[in-house]
């Protein structure tokens, strides 16, 4: 049985722009409009816009919304104020990752969860199941929202010029919501992104998103596909669910422990497993690798210590910004020390690689 | 519409062979470079390596993906196009001019199994 492929509210725009389209997470998505390098550089140096309407949105409301959200989330939402956002994960009891997500705090009775497109059905079922013993309402709003991401050093300028929106009111990881720009359209704007650059993510009903996209195109903003979304997030050291975080890879193994608040009040699902992993060390850990030469390490390629297989590449590219071949790899903890030399098998050849920090590019956020 | 050159031999996996005596210049077609997008790396064998018809001898890579190179003929590599090491994008500029390896063919009858320009044109639907 093949599932029918879904489209976003901007699908006709992508086709009209001549984008290379490909299925991703059940949606027919634009991979590139021009080429990945051009779009990548537009975001690093100027500004670009992404259609990320495939992402899922879940609203949690009710008297126990705060307590419940904190119970399914690794980060601690009691540390933020209304109008702030936190990044973190939902975990299985064994510490494996259900998904990584953003949690928007509207108020203590209202939270807005942004989840990965590929995981919408799984996540919603998971959240609903956990919600049984809480006085909360969980609503999957994914079909109601389109989403675009305006990313790059000129994002604030473009938001002002195109929408008359004063982005300077928003610090990194804060948001506003209300009637903006178009009659009868409720819009959420946050200073967030997945590129390592300054930028904004905008959520609204499909009609509003189409209007905004067209305005941005008229203003000459570069449309950017999922191809460069991956190269950008990778350089900035950000994980992709399915590659660096999976049901088998906990945030502790992926070394994103800073988003896991083991000591928060009330605990959370997966807390004990994470505490144990942190104390004992996971058998595998995620590391950065820098290769000698131009050969490109790809997802799934073997990582060796001498001639012994010790892990595999989770994501790898010839970095556009750094002009070097770099990768994330999940390897045996014993060989994962910074500076250690490993080997990566690329087809028939083996290339030396040094263990380096995962953040290949220092993000330019407006904190 | 992709460029196709008469007189070359074409494989189903979009490589071509330009024959000069016992030697074959092997590269990817214009159609293939277009499908692949910007080439950022070409993984080539070394001189004196053996290649076998239908087996891979390297890869061409875009930012996003690696695409195996399948040899259309068997033989010994006598030259690799070293210009591609520094400038892999030459393949996008002119895929037929910028061959990847030069092979001394061990069995020229293998060419009979390949397509001519008209058949290749029909295969890619142009």
Closest chain B C-alpha to A228 CA, distance in angstroms: 9
Mutate to test the interface with B, among A19, A44, A347, A351 (most CBs of B within 10 A): A347
A329 Cβ partners below 8 Å, 6+ apart?
A286, A287, A288, A289, A297, A303, A311, A312, A313, A314, A316, A342, A344
Q: What is the CA radius of gyration of chain B?
A: 13
Among candidates B37, B66, B85 on the partner chain, residue whose Cβ is nearest the Cβ of A296: B66
pLDDT at A137: 98
Q: Are B61 and A296 inside 8 Å of each other by CB?
A: yes
In angstroms, what CA-CA distances link A32 with A53, A103, A246?
16, 29, 26
DSSP code per residue over A44-94 = HHS-EEEE-TTSEEEEEESTTHHHHHHHH-SS-GGGS-TTBEEEEEEE-TT
Beta strand A48-51 pairing with A222-224: parallel
Q: Are B58 and A346 inside 8 Å of each other by CB?
A: no
Closest CA to A79 of A261, A257, A274, A275: A261
Angstrom distance (rounded) from CA A226 to CA A242: 15
The domain total for chain B is 1
Q: Are B37 and A296 inside 8 Å of each other by CB?
A: no
Angstrom distance (rounded) from CA A64 to CA A48: 39
A72 Cβ partners below 8 Å, 6+ apart?
A90, A126, A127, A130, A268, A269
> Which residues sit opposite A24 in a β-bridge?
A27
What is the count of residue pairs from A and B with beta carbons less than 8 Å apart? 39
What domain range includes position B99?
10-123
CB atoms within 10 A of CB A348: 11
ipTM exceeding 0.90? no
B109 Cβ partners below 8 Å, 6+ apart?
none
B5 occurs within a structural domain: no
> Which residues sit opposite A284 in a β-bridge?
A332
Angstrom distance (rounded) from CA A36 to CA B64: 8
Q: Are B61 and A35 inside 8 Å of each other by CB?
A: no
The answer to whether A13 touches A34, Cβ cutoff 8 Å, is: no
Strands (E), A240-324: 284-291, 302-305, 308-318
pLDDT at A1: 46
Q: Are A346 and B37 inside 8 Å of each other by CB?
A: no
The domain made up of A283-356 has a fold known as: Elongation Factor Tu (Ef-tu); domain 3 (2.40.30)
Angstrom distance (rounded) from CA B33 to CA B92: 6
Among candidates A227, A295, A349 on the partner chain, residue whose Cβ is nearest the Cβ of B64: A227
B17 occurs within a structural domain: yes
SS3 per-residue string spanning B43-90:
ECCCCCCEECCCCEEEEEECCCCEEEEECCCCEEEEEECCHHHHCCCH
The length of chain A, given as a count of residues: 367
Q: Are B64 and A347 inside 8 Å of each other by CB?
A: no
If 0-12 CB within 10 Å is exposed, 13-18 middle and 19+ buried, where does residue A130 land? Answer: middle
Angstrom distance (rounded) from CA B2 to CA B14: 12
B107 occurs within a structural domain: yes
Among candidates A37, A295, A298 on the partner chain, residue whose Cβ is nearest the Cβ of B38: A37
pLDDT band, residue B11 (cuts 50/70/90) = very high
Q: How do residues B83-110 score in pLDDT, each as one tens digit?
A: 999 999 999 999 999 999 999 999 999 9
Q: Tens place of pLDDT for every residue, chain A, 367 residues?
A: 456 899 999 999 999 999 999 999 999 999 999 999 999 999 999 999 999 999 999 999 999 999 999 999 999 999 999 999 999 999 999 999 999 999 999 999 999 999 999 999 999 999 999 999 999 999 999 999 999 999 999 999 999 999 999 999 999 999 999 977 766 789 999 999 999 999 999 999 999 999 999 999 999 999 999 999 999 999 999 999 999 999 999 999 999 999 999 999 999 999 999 999 999 999 999 999 999 988 999 999 999 999 999 999 999 999 999 999 999 999 999 999 999 999 999 998 999 999 999 999 999 998 7
Closest chain B C-alpha to A19 CA, distance in angstroms: 13
Q: Tell me which DSSP letter residue A263 carries.
A: T
The answer to whether A209 touches A218, Cβ cutoff 8 Å, is: no
pLDDT at A231: 98
B4 occurs within a structural domain: no
In chain A, which segments carry CATH 3.30.70.1400? 55-134+250-282
Mutate to test the interface with B, among A232, A291, A294, A319 (most CBs of B within 10 A): A294
Angstrom distance (rounded) from CA A56 to CA B22: 60
Backbone angles phi, psi at A295, to 5 degrees: -60, 145
pLDDT at A181: 73
Superfamily, domain A11-53+145-235: Probable tRNA modification gtpase trme; domain 1 (3.30.1360.120)
Task: Give the CATH number for residue B90.
Answer: 2.40.50.100
Closest chain B C-alpha to A117 CA, distance in angstroms: 20
Q: Are A295 and B41 inside 8 Å of each other by CB?
A: yes
Angstrom distance (rounded) from CA B112 to CA A354: 47
If 0-12 CB within 10 Å is exposed, 13-18 middle and 19+ buried, where does residue A357 land? Answer: exposed
Please list every residue in chain B whose beta carbon sits closer than 8 Å to the beta carbon of residue A347.
43, 56, 58-59, 68
pLDDT at A183: 66
In chain A, which segments carry CATH 3.30.1360.120? 11-53+145-235
B62 occurs within a structural domain: yes
**Class at the top of the CATH hierarchy for domain A55-134+250-282:** alpha beta
In angstroms, what CA-CA distances link A66 with A116, A173, B97, B108?
21, 18, 65, 74
Closest CA to B64 of A96, A30, A156: A30
Beta strand A48-51 pairing with A186-190: unpaired
DSSP code per residue over A284-302 = EEEEEEEESSS----TT-E
């Amino acid at each position: 049985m093949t599932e029918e492929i879904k489209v976003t509210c901007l699908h006709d725009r992508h086709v009209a722009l001549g984008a290379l389209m490909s299925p991703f997470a059940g949606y027919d998505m634009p991979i590139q409009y021009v080429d990945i390098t051009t779009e990548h550089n537009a975001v690093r140096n100027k500004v670009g816009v992404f259609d990320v309407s495939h992402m899922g949105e879940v609203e949690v409301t009710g008297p126990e919304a705060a307590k419940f959200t904190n119970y399914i989330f690794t980060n601690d939402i009691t540390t933020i104020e209304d109008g702030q956002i936190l990044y973190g994960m939902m975990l299985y009891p064994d510490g494996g990752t259900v998904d990584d997500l953003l949690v928007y705090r509207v108020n203590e009775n209202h939270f807005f969860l942004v989840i990965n497109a590929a995981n919408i059905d799984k996540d919603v079922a998971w959240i609903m199941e956990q919600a049984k013993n809480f006085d909360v309402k969980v609503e999957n709003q994914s079909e109601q929202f389109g989403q675009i991401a305006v990313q790059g050093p000129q994002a604030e300028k473009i938001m002002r010029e195109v929408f008359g929106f004063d982005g300077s009111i928003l610090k990194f990881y804060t948001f506003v919501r209300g009637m903006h720009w178009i009659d009868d359209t409720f819009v959420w704007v946050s200073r967030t992104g997945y590129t390592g650059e300054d930028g904004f993510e905008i959520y609204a009903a499909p009609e509003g998103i189409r209007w905004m996209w067209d305005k941005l195109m008229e203003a000459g903003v570069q449309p950017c596909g999922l191809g460069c979304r991956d190269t950008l997030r990778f350089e900035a050291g950000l994980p992709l669910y399915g590659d660096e975080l999976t049901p088998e890879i906990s945030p502790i193994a992926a070394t994103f422990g800073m988003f896991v608040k083991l000591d928060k009040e009330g605990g959370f699902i997966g807390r004990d497993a994470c505490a144990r992993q942190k104390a004992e060390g996971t058998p595998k850990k995620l590391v950065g690798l820098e290769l000698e030469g131009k050969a490109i390490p790809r997802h799934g390629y073997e990582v060796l210590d001498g001639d012994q297989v010790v892990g595999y590449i989770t994501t790898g590219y010839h970095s556009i910004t750094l002009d070097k071949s770099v990768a994330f790899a999940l390897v045996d903890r014993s060989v994962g020390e910074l500076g250690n030399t490993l080997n990566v098998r690329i087809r028939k050849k083996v290339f030396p690689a040094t263990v380096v920090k995962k953040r290949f590019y220092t993000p330019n956020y407006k904190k | 519409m992709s460029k196709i050159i008469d007189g070359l031999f074409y494989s189903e996996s979009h490589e071509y062979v330009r024959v000069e005596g016992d030697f074959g210049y092997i590269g990817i077609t214009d159609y293939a470079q277009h499908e692949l997008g910007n080439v950022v790396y070409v993984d080539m064998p070394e001189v004196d390596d053996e290649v076998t018809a239908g087996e891979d001898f390297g890869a061409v890579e875009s930012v996003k993906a690696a695409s195996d190179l399948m040899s259309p003929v068997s033989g010994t590599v006598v030259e690799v196009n070293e210009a591609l090491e520094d400038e892999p994008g030459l393949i996008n500029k002119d895929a037929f001019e910028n061959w990847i390896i030069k092979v001394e063919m061990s069995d020229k009858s293998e060419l009979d199994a390949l397509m001519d320009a008209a058949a290749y044109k029909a295969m890619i639907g142009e």
